[in-house]
Amino acid sequence: DWLDTVCGSREESEKLLDLAGERPLLAAQLHREAAGESLQLVKHTMAGLFAGRSGAAALATAMTEQTLEQALAQLYDGIQTLLRGLNSGRLASAQGRAGFLLLDEIRQIQRASNSGSNPNRQLLLDALIAKTQRVLGDGGLSAKIIAQPPGNHR
């Protein structure tokens, strides 16, 4: 494939394609920017936060090299992936609904940032990550989700 050629190996292209949410152009960009390892660390740490194995501080530390826009996008994608893997009963639970409210809040922040707002990056991310841990971080929603392959919904 084209991406294999760009990345140098099939294994690397598959890893980056997974990190990029199956978007080949983004995967190629990640390869050029050598950002794959940082994104993998954030993805792994976020999975730990959702499962109740790691805390907000670990995720904030993993996101230190990212811009606000990148960190918000990663957080949004992680929550969205978590919610996509839930069955209808879990989606309708209080935690499931709270996850959707978090997505709405992140989108509002992204819109404000794109409109020229300049919030304090660290303060904003610390607050959002702490809220994410409080709402979704007990392992109640994610215990079986992290191991599921993409597209395997119940």
Q: How confident is the model at residue 140 (pLDDT cuts 50, 70, 90)?
A: low
SS3 28: helix
Name the pLDDT band for 144 (thresholds 50, 70, 90).
Answer: very low
pLDDT digits (tens, 9 = 90+) for 78-136: 999 899 988 888 888 888 899 999 999 999 999 999 899 888 999 999 999 999 999 88
Compute how many other C-beta atoms are within 10 angstroms of the C-beta atom of residue 124.
15
What average pLDDT score do residues 49-66 get? Answer: 87
Closest alpha carbon to 63 in 51, 47, 74: 74
pTM for the model stands at: 0.70
CA gap 42, 60 in Å, rounded? 9
In angstroms, how far is CA 19 from the centroid of its own chain?
Answer: 9
Long-range CB contacts (within 8 A, 24+) of 69-77 = 69/110, 69/113, 71/121, 71/125, 72/106, 72/109, 72/110, 72/113, 72/128, 73/110, 74/39, 74/42, 74/43, 74/46, 75/46, 75/106, 75/128, 75/129, 75/132, 76/103, 76/106, 76/107, 76/110, 77/21
Q: Are 137 and 146 in contact (CB under 8 A)?
A: no
